[in-house]
Structure 1
Amino acid sequence: MYRFFIFIILCLSINSLNAKEPNILFIMVDDLGYRDLSIYGSPDIQTPRIDQLMKEGMRFTQFTANSCVCSPSRAAFLTGRNQDMVGVPGVVRTPDSGNWGFLDPEATTIADVFQKNGYRTSLIGKWHLGLKSPNTPNERGFEFFHGFLGDMMDDYWEHTRHGNEYMYKNFQPLATKGTHATDLFSDWAIADIEAAKNDARPFFQFLAYNAPHDPIHPPKEFYEKFKKRHPNASEKRALLAGLIEHMDHSIGRVLDHLNKLGLANNTLVVFTSDNGGKLRYGADNGKLRADKTHMYEGGLRVCTSFTWPSKIKPGSQSKFKAMTMDFMPTLIDAAGIQYSGHMDGQSFLEEVLYANQKEFTKRKQYYTWLQGYKKHALRIADWKLVKDSQKHKYELYNLKEDPFEKKDLSKDYPEKFSEMRKDMDSYLTKAAKVNWKRPSQK
């Protein structure tokens, strides 16, 4: 009876919240270390603008990406599906020889849903899910695209990859050499919000920064500010810190513009990363084990927050265990949209708004990077099965008792280990049947 009462209150509240549909600004950064924001405990990096954003909303401490690398997590966000089931088991690359993904042309994206329900949709920044038709942003639900079509940049001022210029405005390639990519994306996000202000429709903007992905190219000013505060810091750490603090400053400019235009009060702002930070480039994942490209928590746990003035309690913190593919159903719910299409993700809006949602205790959360490395993990409640490479043996951890994955329990709990192995094998069998190759790779 209590749960039924809460459900009725939630439904009524959502109807009330969406008397005017909210704008949605979804910010995804790239390879951010779990302890590389000051609000998440960084002892040296200062991120006052992101910190303030999170203090004004709900901050998540157990949120995970769907994968330990870029493209799969982005596919999970865009479709609300396990990435392997929509054709993106690995990283989408320029040459066919290194490509491990072809986003299913039939898959419905979050941008498709918002556009069909009266939203102005835009992608600003990094795409990384296809270079040609049918997998360009404008063909996948974004009516406006201003950003980088490829994956990582070889230079933050040159904006090239493998010698290709991948900056585009819709279908038109751009020459943008000379301005830092983070500044460009922030400028373009602000311009897009300006345009949205004059549109009767609410907006959904996906703002995807390349930073702080390598190469670690901070503006000199921000690098020097950090070195002045921390003269004994390693060069590696100082460079990354400068890139992150510049990113924080740039995000602050976008948030300031929301306020300036009077849009902040009706805008839901989400912040997250596509995976964990890379230690060899100076990232700090705290006590979490390992880093990007690994199936341990250091590669999967991501800084995440929801901010929505007068709807989400400021300063709230949640241990709710959601993952990247859960964003789509949650944001659709927040907008009051009725959508019956298939999603593997589940809405956690009740947690975001009221901090009282029950955990997905029986859900099977698959984490994968299934290109040549064949890395994967499965979490069910507090249990986590890990295979961190093709040659690596399976391990079993209880994250409640052992959050830093130090003690392999596979021999201590053989029945649990066997049960989770069967679940993982079943998933991998299904994933192996899904096409992930471009037409040119066949």
Structure 2
Amino acid sequence: MKHFAHTFILISFIGVLLSIPVSSDGSAFGKHQKPNILIITADNLGYGDLSIMGADDIQTPTIDELFSDGLIFTEFYANSTTSSPTQASLLSGCYPALVGVPGTIRNDSQNSWGYFTCETTMAHHFQKAGYLTALIGKWNLGFDAPNLPNEQGFDLFMGFLGDEIDDYYNHQHDGVNYMRFNENEINPPGHTTDLFSNWSANFISREAESGKPFFLYLSYNVPGPLLQPDENHLQRVQVRNPALDSARAKHVALIEQMDNGIKRVIQALNETNQLKNTIIIFTSTSGGILESGASNGKLRGGKLDLFEGGIRVPACIFWKKEIKKGSLSHQISVTMDLFPTLCSFAQVPMNHSPDGKDLSTCILQGIPLQQERTIFWTCREGGDHNGEACHAARQGAYKLVQNRPTEKFRLYNLTTDPHEVIPLMESSEHYKRLHHAILRHIQENEKIPWSKGPIGRDNNSMDDSSISNNL
């Protein structure tokens, strides 16, 4: 039965691809210069968890090659310390709280901290421009209409609904199977990471027959908190590094399994002669989970922290046709910048003004943004945060951080103090400027509801005492 189900899924998948028509004017997109778009996100990948980023106990040759053959962002940030808000920013081009997602969206209303309110996503834009759009992997922006992938601009969805998975082989969370083919529940055999990789490679191979450019968002849910790699990958890691503790070995194996899957995706691009004109983005939704064996290099903190280790992530962009091999960008960048940047590269019109910045000239010409920017982070989550929000802002070298709701803000100079251990005086002009900017940003955030109900204290609450006492 499992084999039959898997075969049925594959046949249906192929049918979806081939049933989507070519462009309305009858032209064959395969002959034009529109670039394909491939966005790959890992989940909770630490800043030091790739061999190209300095890890000496891990082998990630495929990802390393993307970094070395493209452009590396040396100061790239996730929009949040957790995946739902970062995914919201990627698809909206906006700060996550401004599209209703200050924290993780879950199926448990008592522990859900967002409701996605973006009217037109990046996928909608590319879909309207004639692209075949697909999301394969983790979707963490809703469980019901209208916040399902097919209603958010994706022609095809094959993946997992929700933030965490309890078993990579039965695809369940709290006893519920959240694996979907579009809106239909499926239970294909295999490790989730391998399924996402194989589905993506199949999509690319079949898409080549459609005559349309593609926009593929491959959203992995590794190396998250579940330490369940494929046994073959784990054994290779343990043989190579017998001194690694169990958590680190499993964490490394998960990343190497993902890297091997990305290799199959790149092979599909090569075999269909599409690699040269495919823009590939690789990054992570947040920093690594230290308790799960992750490494954030020399950065302080990890996932759920607003220190650098929680939000600064590895990132690169590869475009063989246009981007010089071995390039670096020191421009301070953030996930929401990818929306306007990719639209600019593909000449896809935008119908709104995003918070993100178009980095195309930074990437292609090395020209920094004309105006120094201030970037903000809000983290609203359970656990230590108790649903209250904490905040950070960076402008140039200076970063103001409130890492827990009960803490005061602290100012750091990341040039002279990259490990964020020597707070500067509160009387500093930099402190006052960023403190004022954060207050204004909080006021904007609080205008946006983040649950299904009407705006009100129950739906968009903030502990006023924590604001007055700690800001």
| TM range, smaller chain | over 0.9
Match for 2:122: what amino acid? I
**Closer/same/farther in 2, CA of residues 187 and 439 from structure 1, 3 Å limit:** farther
Q: CA deviation at 1:82?
A: 0.5
Aligned residue in 1 for 2:396 = 381
Aligned residue in 2 for 1:131 = 143
Match for 1:409: what amino acid? L
Select the residue among 22, 25, 38 that pairs with 1:25. Answer: 38
Aligned residue in 2 for 1:407 = 422
| 1:23-422 → structure 2 map (5 Å cutoff) | 23-104=36-117, 106-176=118-188, 178-354=189-365, 356-359=366-369, 361-371=371-381, 372-411=387-426, 413-422=427-436
CA distance in 2, matches of 1:327, 1:39: 22
Q: Deviations over 1:224-267 (max 9, x none)?
A: 11111111111111110111111111111111111011111111
CA distance in 1, matches of 2:342, 2:419: 31
Match for 1:416: what amino acid? H
CA distance in 1, matches of 2:351, 2:199: 33
Structure 1: 5+ residue stretches without partners: 1-17
Q: Deviations over 1:351-382 (max 9, x none)?
A: 2222x221465322011113414121011111
Secondary structure of 2:77 counterpart: coil
Q: Deviations over 1:128-169 (max 9, x none)?
A: 000000100000000111111121111111111121111111
Aligned residue in 2 for 1:433 = 447
Aligned length: 421
**Closer/same/farther in 2, CA of residues 174 and 439 from structure 1, 3 Å limit:** farther
Contact 2:362 2:369 (8 Å CA) reproduced: no
CA distance in 2, matches of 1:216, 1:192: 28
Q: Deviations over 1:46-96 (max 9, x none)?
A: 101111121111111110011111101110000000001000010001111
Contact 1:360 1:381 (8 Å CA) reproduced: no
Match for 2:141: what amino acid? L
CA distance in 2, matches of 1:135, 1:339: 21
Contact 2:277 2:321 (8 Å CA) reproduced: no
Q: Deviations over 1:201-244 (max 9, x none)?
A: 21000000011112111111111111111111111111101111
CA distance in 2, matches of 1:429, 1:216: 39
Deviates more, 1:316-325 or 1:63-72: 316-325
Match for 1:422: what amino acid? H
Match for 1:98: what amino acid? N
Match for 2:132: what amino acid? R
Match for 1:434: what amino acid? I
Structure 2: 5+ residue stretches without partners: 1-30, 382-386, 460-471
Q: CA deviation at 1:384?
A: 0.6
**Closer/same/farther in 2, CA of residues 360 and 233 from structure 1, 3 Å limit:** farther
Q: CA deviation at 1:305?
A: 0.6
Deviates more, 1:269-278 or 1:356-365: 356-365
Q: Deviations over 1:24-59 (max 9, x none)?
A: 111011000101100000011110111112111111
Q: Percent identity?
A: 40
Match for 1:79: what amino acid? S
CA distance in 1, matches of 2:241, 2:380: 40
Contact 2:134 2:217 (8 Å CA) reproduced: yes
Match for 1:200: what amino acid? G
CA distance in 1, matches of 2:429, 2:327: 38
Q: Deviations over 1:244-295 (max 9, x none)?
A: 1111111111111110111111111110100110111000111101001000
Contact 1:361 1:381 (8 Å CA) reproduced: no
Secondary structure of 1:277 counterpart: coil
Q: CA deviation at 1:439?
A: 4.0
Structure 1 length normalisation: TM-score?
Answer: 0.93
